[in-house]
Amino acid sequence: MKELPNPDEFLSKIDHKPSPTGWMDTPVEIRRGIACHAAKPDRLEYVGFPNPRDWSCFDEDWQLPENWQEILHKGFKERLDRFRSVKIFMDICVRCGACADKCHFFIGSGDPKNMPVVRAELLRSVYRNDFTTAGKILGLFGKKAKKAYGARELTLDVLKEWWYYFFQCTECRRCSVFCPYGIDTAEITIFGRELLNLIGLNIDWVAAPVAFCYRTGNHLGIQPHAYKDMMDFFTDEIEEVCGIRVKPHFMKKKADILFITPSGDVFADPGTFTCMGYMMLFHFLQEKYGLEITWSTYASEGGNFGFFTSHEMMKRLNAKMYAEAKRLGVKWILGGECGHMWRVVHQYMDTMNGPADFLEEPVNPITGTKFENARSTKMVHICEFVADLIKHGKLDLDPSRNDHLKVTFHDSCNPARGMGLLEEPRYVIKNVCNHFYEMPANTIREQTFCCGSGAGLNAGENMELRMQGALPRLNAVKYVHEKHGVNMLSCVCAIDRAAFPTALEYWLPEVDNCGVHELVANALILPGEKKRTVDLRNEPLPGMEDEDDE
Amino acid sequence: MNISYMYSLIAVIVLFLLAYVGAMLPGGEVFFGIIIPYLALIIFILGFINRIIDWARSPVPFRIPTTCGQEKSLPWIKPNSIDNPTTTGGVIIRMFLEVVFFRSLFRNTKMALKEGDKLSYEWEKWLWLFSLAFHWTFFVVLFRHLRFFTEPVPALVEVVAKLDGFLQIGLPELRISGVVLLGALIFLFLRRIYIPQMRFISLASDYFPLFLIIGIAFTGILMRYFTKVDIVGVKEFTMSLATFKPHITQGIGSIFYVHLFFVSVLLAYFPFSKLMHLGGIFMSPTRNMVNNNRFKRHINPWNYPVEVHTYEQYEDEFREKMVGVGLPVVKPLAAKTPEEAKEPEEKE
């Protein structure tokens, strides 16, 4: 991994002024620290993706199939016929530039090809050349005429540029909020990556989770016994904190609810504390109200890296959710904290793998609330569920146990801009914490900034890219840190929790990161628990330990 | 040197000369006054329809609105029914605000890195303001021009023209729309030239329509205020076009034909260019869709069955390990025979 300069130096190097030459005259230079490792062949083989081989983006020869241009041309055409979105987005952009400085990667890098408009132009230029009448006619007058029209042939350099920049987009949709026509770069990137997958151009940080998830049910490739071991470990940890031994259900038939959450939270801090939070919450609900919520190791992944490869792969991975709910005979599905998972669940799942007519319309059996907004998909977000419980006074909470934290909330891209889950997590946080501060308005809710590592870019070898992408978000956190002393960045996304610790360490080491349900569990009073002197992280609770000494 | 805008500028100058000189040649008035305008109109109408049909032929497989506000979820949380609409009515309001007032552009911010380490995002209203000014005045000018194609002139057209000239400066009185139109166009052009990022992304096809419409506004203003074109003669001619009994009125002057030619080029160019955003915005799936995803199923017409990894396949691979840690299994361990372990993969 390339050494990063210190943050001050990093900032001083950002130059938002592009070269005076047009973008088509600025050749692509694939850089270490930005690009990700190529997918290893066994990942592709496992799911039957084309052209598995050992290769690297720094090789001269990418070992493409001989007719790669033909494959891409055909693939492009087929997809234009399938997606009105991209077809329209190819035609109507006026290059007003409103999107330009909305992208976290452009803000953090200054690389002008990270302006969303240029990312789309990478595709559009080939579209104009191959699929428009004007492009074909102007082509007769030579390359210059074509270029004036913004058209160019799909050459190897163009392909490399595609690859480089479609893996510098986290599909966060922030630009689409500002676009006067709603042009959504996520659609462009999804389309572009789907094309690249046709000739075996994936990155390992996407392809490996896809293959793992297909086989073991989760991105990390955790096999069922290891999954159970991790949960046992959490059970011990929870017991240490509050003296209660929780008993999570696994694949329990006829349980009330199936719970699915990203596997990242089972595996790495600080997500693990959120996972413990879920376990404590479910224990509380079972003890107090007899509600049975089951986990599954088969459907042990909420996230869906298939979404970052192709629509088909997304569907193949997502199918497990309904399949497992059906097999177990639960009433409905509860989904944990995750960003892109909720985009897939909210905007794609029912269409792809529904109708879920074997499930019941979700009702909270404790409060009687009907989740009308989930009556077809039959999957409820845990923040919706918990907000409902709190509103009806069904949780016993002691928010003072979070008094050592000054909390801010990061809206994850997809729940914000692909769903609209804004108030629910805030309501939950405000009920379990006494100190909550919002970041500046232009950086939250629908204008929220990405963590910088979404859409499969959370690898190690592209650390410079990730720090670029995280800059706008963490700069806003820094603002509330300096103004209000915020020391905890909460979020509802497992990728955030995988990305932020590294990014915070670099940009803002004084602030820590947590999931909302870690905060919930800190405050949640379990029936018969011992007096808590530490939080879930085993860190002493100020004030509470002192009383013991007296 | 920026070839993108030079190309466009040269193209517009060539078009100017073509019509200016052409109209003076024998038969030129018929060519530039009758044949070209009718042809352009036909290209515009057919091209526009064709493009819309072409877009409409591709389905919208997934419901993908960009949500810009609170979702409708629990009854006590107030949803944002416009920016995150759950009803057709909400979408109509969202689209109306988008099309008529450029709501998304209104949100525009300008990012700056201040004091070396502080990112700021300030409200940037100029692009919104001048775009709105450009589109609205262009529309008003277009609407005013109905007086050349109607007899008697509808009262509304007269009223708009009157309002447009309310300053009552000069003779003929100054129409504000024309001046604002020209001013807004020049602003939109200058920002493409002076903002480095804009210069980087601008194509010839971004400058061309700007120059062309500047040309239209310029020749229009020239005729009204300076060359004082023979309005009665023009009206006689335009009415002949509108009633499909075209005949040339003598002595209107070449500038008029340039004006008409520019308009014709704009019409013919329209369906093949980014100007199609006029039609496209209505069909943009991120804006015109209802966010009722989880309560009403959306159908993908090309949804097809895919290969999945079933629970049975999963359990077959991991049964021993599952039993080892006490996870429930469907088939007990003893039932596992070598044949079953090698069972071919099921497809769904």
**Of all helices (H) and strands (E), which one includes residue B122?**
strand B118-123
Q: Using 50, 70 and 90 to split pLDDT, how confident is the model at B146?
A: very high
Q: Do B58 and A298 touch (CB under 8 A)?
A: no
Interface test with A, best of B99, B290, B309, B346 (most A CBs within 10 A): B309
Per-residue b or e along B70-105, where b marks 16 or more CB atoms closer than 10 Å to that residue's CB: bbbbbeebebbbbbbbbeeebbebbbeebeeebbbb
Pick from A98, A115, A377: CB nearest B294: A377
Mean pLDDT of A174-190: 97
Using the Cβ of B6 and the Cβ atoms of chain A, whether some distance falls under 8 Å is answered with no
**Of all helices (H) and strands (E), which one includes residue A45?**
helix A41-47
Contacts A96 to B, Cβ<8 Å: 105, 127, 131
C-alpha–C-alpha distance, residues A192 and A185, integer Å: 10
Pick from A98, A225, A479: CB nearest B321: A225
Residue in B163, B183, B184, B185 with CA at minimum distance from that of residue B174:
B163
Q: Using 50, 70 and 90 to split pLDDT, how confident is the model at B348?
A: very low
**pLDDT tens-digit readout, B248-283:** 988 888 999 999 999 999 999 999 999 999 999 999
Specify whether the CB–CB gap between A206 and A454 falls below 8 A: no
pLDDT score of A1 more than 60:
no
Q: What is the percent of chain A with per-residue pLDDT over 90, rounded to a whole number?
A: 92
Tell me which chain B residue has its CA closest to the CA of residue A296: B327
Per-residue b or e along A305-328, where b marks 16 or more CB atoms closer than 10 Å to that residue's CB: bbbbbbbbbbbbbbbbbbbbbebb
Specify whether the CB–CB gap between B46 and B267 falls below 8 A: no
Residue B112 DSSP symbol: E
Domain ranges of chain A: 7-30+50-201, 210-549
C-alpha–C-alpha distance, residues A465 and A31, integer Å: 10
Specify whether the CB–CB gap between B318 and A224 falls below 8 A: yes
Domain ranges of chain B: 3-68+94-101+137-288, 311-341
List all residues of chain B from 211 to 270 with a beta carbon under 8 Å from chain A: none
**pLDDT tens-digit readout, A371-418:** 999 999 999 999 999 999 999 999 999 999 999 999 999 999 999 999
Mean pLDDT of A77-97: 97
Q: What is the percent of chain B with per-residue pLDDT over 70, rounded to a whole number?
A: 95
Which CATH superfamily is B3-68+94-101+137-288 part of? Answer: Transmembrane di-heme cytochromes, Chain C (1.20.950.20)
pLDDT score of B3 more than 90:
no
Pick from B58, B272, B296: CB nearest A83: B58
C-alpha–C-alpha distance, residues B252 and B52, integer Å: 37
Specify whether the CB–CB gap between A113 and A119 falls below 8 A: yes
C-alpha–C-alpha distance, residues A7 and A164, integer Å: 24
Q: Do A121 and B201 touch (CB under 8 A)?
A: yes
Among A393-407, A529-543, B157-171, name the most confident range.
A393-407
User: What token pair was written down for B115?
Assistant: 């004091």
Q: Residue type at A321?
A: M
Specify whether the CB–CB gap between B152 and B144 falls below 8 A: no
> Which range among A134-143, B15-24, B64-73, B257-266 shows the weakest confidence by mean pLDDT?
A134-143
Q: How far is B91 from chain A (nearest CA, A)?
A: 13
- Cα-only R_g, chain A: 24
Predicted confidence at residue B167, as pLDDT, reads 79
Helix and strand totals (H; E) in chain A: 25, 8
Specify whether the CB–CB gap between B273 and B205 falls below 8 A: yes
How do the residues of chain A divide into helix, strand and coil, expressed in percent and rounded to 5?
Answer: 55, 5, 40
pLDDT score of A13 more than 80:
yes
List all residues of chain B from 84 to 103 with a beta carbon under 8 Å from chain A: 84, 98, 102
Predicted confidence at residue A321, as pLDDT, reads 97
Predicted confidence at residue B346, as pLDDT, reads 46
**pLDDT tens-digit readout, A197-254:** 999 999 999 999 999 999 999 999 999 999 999 999 999 999 999 999 999 999 999 9
pLDDT score of B336 more than 80:
no
**pLDDT tens-digit readout, B76-105:** 999 999 999 999 999 999 999 999 999 999
pTM of the entire structure? 0.94
Mean pLDDT of A504-531: 97
User: What token pair was written down for A1?
Assistant: 């991994």
C-alpha–C-alpha distance, residues B220 and B186, integer Å: 16
- Cα-only R_g, chain B: 30
* Residue in the block written with tokens 């234009």: A80
